[in-house]
Amino acid sequence: MDSSSSSSRNLILQSRMPNIKVFSGSSHLDLAQRVVDRLGIDLGKVVTKKFSNLETCVEIGESVRGEDVYIVQSGSGEINDNLMELLIMINACKIASASRVTAVIPCFPYARQDKKDKAGLEGKDDGSKVVATPPQARFKSNEWKFRAGHTALPSQSRAPISAKLVANMLSVAGADHIITMDLHASQIQGFFDIPVDNLYAEPAVLKWIKENIPEWRNSIIVSPDAGGAKRVTSIADRLNVEFALIHKERRKANEVASMVLVGDVKDRIAILVDDMADTCGTICHAAEKLMDAGATKVYAILTHGIFSGPAISRINNACFEAVVVTNTIPQEEHMRDCPKIQCIDVSMMFAEAVRRTHNGESVSYLFSNVPY
């Protein structure tokens, strides 16, 4: 392309997307680059570094005065460092007179800490690491109850609602708008006093199923726990297939005593669907259960593939045909270590959400369609 045609193209793009700047944090540079490539603009200049005492320092390398600023930072990797970096970048742009600052957070950090649990001694097997109180410590704390002949009841949880704390921090830092995808709990939107657009991976998942599973009409969509029933029924309805769910019974925290399959998967392709997978204990147990129940193949489709701890080795040893995740979290390393992992690119959905937000258009189109 000669210089004259290149400059004319840049002029067209500038006239189409004026007063917009997209910056990337250090958590997912590849996704941010894909977003700006789709928009036809350049990634903003920013330098992030750490001082010797590990304090985060951010320097915005260009003027943002009067600009519509978008900062792409996912809740992955070194989550606490990345969250702090995002807060500092938002504040840096805000005090540099940006007209609006939007945080694009593909995977929202601390989303699993969205409510108080009923009992402080119990935990959820959702990938979170539960640090149990030693039995002797629990006995000592309740010793007076046993001596008095009372039945020891589990204490009320004193757990924080950390997702609300993150929402407050983002607002105080100066964010005017949040764009995220598949929040672990949709009520997190209510934690904010600013607009939150919660995009759905469902349209991209449906597209992947139709293009990559030839026998998808003979499939059944399965939720690995009762909490994902709404997500599974929505996908099953749009594919016009049946759905099933797995009910987990626990003997104690982080230990699944039994799994009960509700639905008939015999001689069908089972597609497990969930919003995230961390240590992958639940979905690997669920896959075994489905194969025992007569499923011919098992796929897993997950929006956020965190894959911490023993997750990769569990997937390698499990009976999955494929484990499909989106690139809301960087997946290059995981795909290198595990050939079963495949990735759906959702950068075009974030790019279209940015474009529509910037131009004041409706974003609801993206809730049921994949932009081409």
Report DSSP letters for 142-178, one per residue. Answer: THHHHHTTPPPPPPPP----HHHHHHHHHHHHT--EE
Q: What is the pLDDT of residues 162-182, one digit of tens each?
A: 999 999 999 999 999 999 999
pLDDT, mean over the chain: 85
- DSSP per-residue string spanning 6-36: HHHHHHHHHHHSTTEEEEE-SS-HHHHHHHH
Contact assessment for residue 127 and residue 115, using Cβ atoms and an 8 Å cutoff? no
Do residues 27 and 73 lie in contact, with contact meaning Cβ atoms separated by under 8 Å?
yes
The pLDDT tens digits of the residues spanning 97-138 come to 999 999 999 999 999 999 887 544 344 444 444 444 454 444
Would you place residue 144 in the very low, low, confident or very high pLDDT band (cuts 50, 70, 90)?
very low
- Spatial CA neighbour of 163 closest among 182, 181, 189: 189
- Are β-strands 297-305 and 269-277 bridged in parallel, bridged antiparallel, or unpaired? parallel
Q: What is the average per-residue pLDDT within 261-280?
A: 92
pLDDT of the residue at 170: 97
Mean predicted confidence (pLDDT) in 224-234: 88
Which residues, other chains included, contact 235 with Cβ-Cβ below 8 Å and sequence gap of 6+?
202, 205, 206, 221, 243, 273
The confidence band for 156, taking pLDDT boundaries of 50, 70 and 90, is: low
Q: How far, in Å, are 70, 73, 344 from residue 93 at the CA level?
A: 10, 14, 31
Q: Considering Cα of 51, then 60, then 326, then 357, what sign does the dihedral take? A: positive
Amino acid at site 344? I
Residues 28-85 pLDDT 10s: 999 999 999 999 999 999 999 999 999 999 999 999 999 999 999 999 889 999 999 9
